[in-house]
Chain A
Amino acid sequence: MSGPSTYTPKSGFEKWIDQRLPLPRLMHDTMQTFPTPRNLNIWYTFGGILTFCLGVQILTGIVLAMHYVANAGLAFDSVEAIMRDVNYGWLIRYIHSNGASMFFLAVYIHMFRGLYYGSYKAPRELIWIIGVLIYLLMMATAFFGYVLPWGQMSFWGATVITNLFSAIPVIGSHIATWLWGDFAVGDATLNRFFSLHYLLPFIIAGVVGLHIWALHVPGNNNPLGIDVKSPQDTVPFHPYYTVKDAFYLCLFVVVFAAFVFYAPNFFGNPDNYQQANPLVTPPDIVPEWYLLPFYAMLRSIPNKLMGVIVMGGAIVTLFFLPWLDTSRVRSCRFRPLMKQFFWAFAVACVILGYCGAQSVDASVAGVPLLWVARLATLYYFLFFWILMPIIGLIETPKKLPASIAQSVLGDTAAAAAE
Chain B
Amino acid sequence: MRLALRFTLAVGLTALALPALAQETTIDTKRLPVKDGHFEFEGPFGTYDRAALQRGFQVYKEVCAACHGLNHIAFHNLDEEGGPGFTEAQAKAIAAGYKIPADPNDKGEITDDKGNRLTRPGILADKFPSPYPNEEAARANNSGSLPPDLSMIEKAREGGSDYVFSILTGFHMTPPKGFKVTEGKYYNPYFEGWNISMPPPLVANAVTYSDGTKATIEQEAHDVATFLAWASDPKMEERKRTGFGVLVFLVVLSGVLFAAYRKVWAEMH
Contacts from A to B (Cβ < 8 Å):
38, 77, 80, 83-84, 90-91, 94, 235, 239-240, 243-244, 246-247, 250-251, 253-254, 257-258, 260-262, 264-265, 270-271, 273-274, 283, 408-409
Interface stretch (choices B52-60, B166-174, B199-207, B238-246)? B238-246
Contacts of B246 in A (CB 8 A): 257, 261
A250 touches B253 (CB 8 A): yes
Given known A261-B247, A271-B156, contact A246–B257 (CB-CB < 8 A): yes
Contacts of B20 in A (CB 8 A): none
B264 touches A239 (CB 8 A): yes
B242 touches A262 (CB 8 A): no
Given known A80-B72, A265-B155, A273-B156, contact A38–B268 (CB-CB < 8 A): yes
Docked complex Cα distance between A247 and B256 (Å): 9
Count of residues in B whose CB is under 8 Å from the partner chain: 34
B78 at the interface (CB under 8 A from A): no
Docked complex Cα distance between A77 and B264 (Å): 51
CB distance from A265 to the nearest CB of B (A): 7
Q: Mark B7-19, 1 if CB is under 8 A from A, else 0.
A: 0000000000000
B240 touches A251 (CB 8 A): no
A273 touches B152 (CB 8 A): yes
Contacts of B260 in A (CB 8 A): 243, 246-247
User: A264: nearest residue on chain B (CB-CB)?
Assistant: B239
User: B156: nearest residue on chain A (CB-CB)?
Assistant: A273
Docked complex Cα distance between A77 and B261 (Å): 46
Contacts of A250 in B (CB 8 A): 250, 253-254, 257
Contacts of B21 in A (CB 8 A): none
B265 touches A240 (CB 8 A): yes
Docked complex Cα distance between A261 and B265 (Å): 33
User: A258: nearest residue on chain B (CB-CB)?
Assistant: B247
Task: Pick from B157, B240, B257, B264: contact of A270, CB below 8 A.
Answer: B157
Docked complex Cα distance between A261 and B241 (Å): 9
B84 at the interface (CB under 8 A from A): no
Q: Mark B183-217, 1 if CB is under 8 A from A, else 0.
A: 00000000010000000000000000000000000
CB distance from A404 to the nearest CB of B (A): 12
Task: Say whether chain A's binding surface is mostly helix, strand, loop, or mixed.
Answer: helix
Docked complex Cα distance between A257 and B77 (Å): 27
CB distance from B179 to the nearest CB of A (A): 19
Given known A240-B268, A243-B264, A254-B251, contact A262–B155 (CB-CB < 8 A): no
CB distance from B49 to the nearest CB of A (A): 20
Which 5 A-B residue pairs are closest in the complex by CB-CB distance?
A261-B243, A273-B156, A247-B257, A273-B155, A250-B254
Task: Say whether chain B's binding surface is mostly helix, strand, loop, or mixed.
Answer: helix
Given known A90-B235, A264-B239, A408-B269, contact A243–B257 (CB-CB < 8 A): yes
User: A94: nearest residue on chain B (CB-CB)?
Assistant: B239
CB distance from B16 to the nearest CB of A (A): 19
Known A-B contacts: A240-B268, A246-B257, A274-B152. Give 10 more (CB < 8 A): A90-B235, A91-B242, A240-B264, A243-B265, A247-B261, A258-B243, A261-B243, A261-B247, A274-B156, A409-B269
B254 touches A262 (CB 8 A): no
Docked complex Cα distance between A150 and B12 (Å): 54
Contacts of A409 in B (CB 8 A): 269
B44 at the interface (CB under 8 A from A): yes
A244 touches B261 (CB 8 A): yes
User: B253: nearest residue on chain A (CB-CB)?
Assistant: A250
Task: Pick from B158, B234, B254: contact of A254, CB below 8 A.
Answer: B254
Q: Mark B55-74, 1 if CB is under 8 A from A, else 0.
A: 00000000000000000100
Task: Pick from A240, A261, A270: contact of B242, CB below 8 A.
Answer: A261
Contacts of B72 in A (CB 8 A): 77, 80, 84
B247 touches A254 (CB 8 A): yes
Docked complex Cα distance between A382 and B235 (Å): 49
Contacts of B77 in A (CB 8 A): 84
Q: Which of B234, B238, B253, B261 has the most CB of A within 10 A?
A: B261
A247 touches B254 (CB 8 A): yes
Pairs across A and B, CB under 8 Å, 8 listed: A83-B235, A84-B77, A240-B265, A243-B261, A247-B254, A250-B257, A258-B243, A271-B156
Given known A243-B260, A261-B247, contact A91–B253 (CB-CB < 8 A): no
Q: Which of B148, B234, B247 has the most CB of A within 10 A?
A: B247
Contacts of A254 in B (CB 8 A): 247, 250-251, 254
Task: Pick from A91, A243, A270: contact of B156, CB below 8 A.
Answer: A270
B239 touches A91 (CB 8 A): yes
